[in-house]
Amino acid sequence: MSVINLSRVDIFGNETGTINTANCYIVHEPGYYSIPLVYGNAIKNGKPNPEAYTNQKPRNHLFIDYVDYRKTPIQSPEIKTGIDGIEVLWKSDGIEVRDLSYNDHEIFFRLEWNRERKTGENAVIAIYDCNKLCHDVIWSWHIWYYEGDLSPIYFGDHPRKKTTKNYQFAVLPVNLGWNGETGTFYQWGRKDPFRGDIEKVSTDERSNPNLTDCIIQPDKMYQKLDYEGCANLWDAKCENIEDENNQNPNKSRRTIKTIYDPCPPGFKVPGCDVFRALGAKWYNQKGLCFKSSRSCCPDSDGIFFPSSGFRNRSSGDLTNVSSSGYYWSSASYASYGQTYAYNLYFSSGRVYPVSSNNRANGFSVRPILE
């Protein structure tokens, strides 16, 4: 059986003819797959993508270097550290990930279904270093198996130019990691998902974890996260940050996906202006519906955001499921000692396109087209 390089196919499984890497890859059927040993989206359209892993700003509390698991600034796309192991860090019940192996350039695995599979299933594969004393995780990747339609939904009139179908944004029709009932959850600024199909995940009380801690322990949810106050983890550009901190992100601007972004190739975590552009909405117990040209909401045409709740940073528990929705943006929030970030929030008929919350809580992510 041939091996499919996931960096060479799009979200529908179609061959693209070029390499685009990411921290999340989507598969639609059982088979043999490979993933390049590359940091996140450090290769784009077949070429190095330095704006995703090189700090372009003066290093300060807002703009820090993009580092690897040893806290060394990343200088090139490829992961060149000696690898001494590979394993499935976690997986949902409906799939099996077998025959894991690696060489100097790629990792390989075989994906199988089982009878318990849902519309979507998730797994995280990690590689380890050759230090026998530490055996740290070097990097990890999210594998999202999904059977449904992932055709992006376009919305928002572009203020300056016309894009595909004359819209400003394009969003996936489901949350990242969607399995037909819930998606995966993310602490702000982190690339790795937490399961949405179990009630509780483990938490760590460490008072000041750094970026390397998050890379080395991708399955550990930290109760506190400030990353030294940095703002550029999910957006390398971070322009007009004063506007964002004053909750005035109405101006459309280009955000730049980084190597810590959790979305699949070609997609990224949305900026604040995306939630502002969603327009008219309604809410019921199932979730929030924004109007669009596509039918995907119960009894209405629109973009549906389910009331998925969130993972509590202190307990690791799922909270407010079926009553509230929390969706991260890529924008940080400068108040509260650099521990907050912006998000979409809705509950019981109340909708706040630009709310803010503690970065350590686990929220949903709805990817948008880059």
Using CA atoms, how far residue 92 sits from 101, 179, 246, 288, in Å, is 20, 10, 40, 26
Q: What pLDDT, on a 0 to 100 scale, did the predictor assign at position 12?
A: 95
Full DSSP string of 289-335: EE--SS--BTTBSSEEEE--BEE-TTT-BEESTTTEEEEEEEEEE-H
**pTM of the complete model:** 0.92
How far, rounded to the nearest angstrom, does the alpha carbon of residue 50 sit from its chain's CA centroid?
A: 19
CB 38 within 8 A of CB 77: yes
Domain residue spans of the chain? 3-146, 153-369
Would you say 319 and 186 are in contact if contact means Cβ atoms under 8 Å apart?
no
Cβ-Cβ contacts under 8 Å for 258 (sequence gap 6 or more): 40, 41, 52, 53, 66, 232, 233, 234, 235, 236
For residue 334, the model assigns a pLDDT of 64
- What's the rounded Cα separation, in Å, for the pair 344 and 1? 44
pLDDT number for residue 296: 46
Which pLDDT does position 273 carry in this prediction? Answer: 84
How far is the first Cα of the chain from the last one, in angstroms, to the nearest whole number?
33
- Report pLDDT for 137: 95
* pLDDT given for residue 121 in this prediction: 95
User: Are the CB atoms for 111 and 27 separated by under 8 Å?
Assistant: yes
Torsional sign, CA 356, 359, 365, 366: positive
Phi, psi of 162 (to 5 degrees): -100, 130
> For each of the chain's 370 residues, which pLDDT tens digit applies?
699 999 999 999 999 999 999 999 999 999 999 999 999 999 999 999 999 999 876 665 577 789 999 999 999 999 988 898 999 999 999 999 999 999 999 999 999 988 777 889 999 999 999 765 567 999 999 999 999 999 998 877 644 444 444 567 889 999 999 998 899 999 999 999 999 999 999 898 887 788 899 999 999 999 988 776 678 899 988 754 444 444 444 455 678 999 999 999 999 999 988 888 886 676 665 677 775 444 445 445 578 899 999 999 999 999 999 889 999 999 888 655 568 899 999 987 788 888 999 999 999 999 999 9
pLDDT value of residue 318: 94
**C-alpha closest to that of 271 among 331, 185, 345:** 331
Contact (Cβ atoms closer than 8 angstroms) between residue 249 and residue 331: yes
Give me 53's structure tokens.
Answer: 């892993």
pLDDT of residue 166: 54
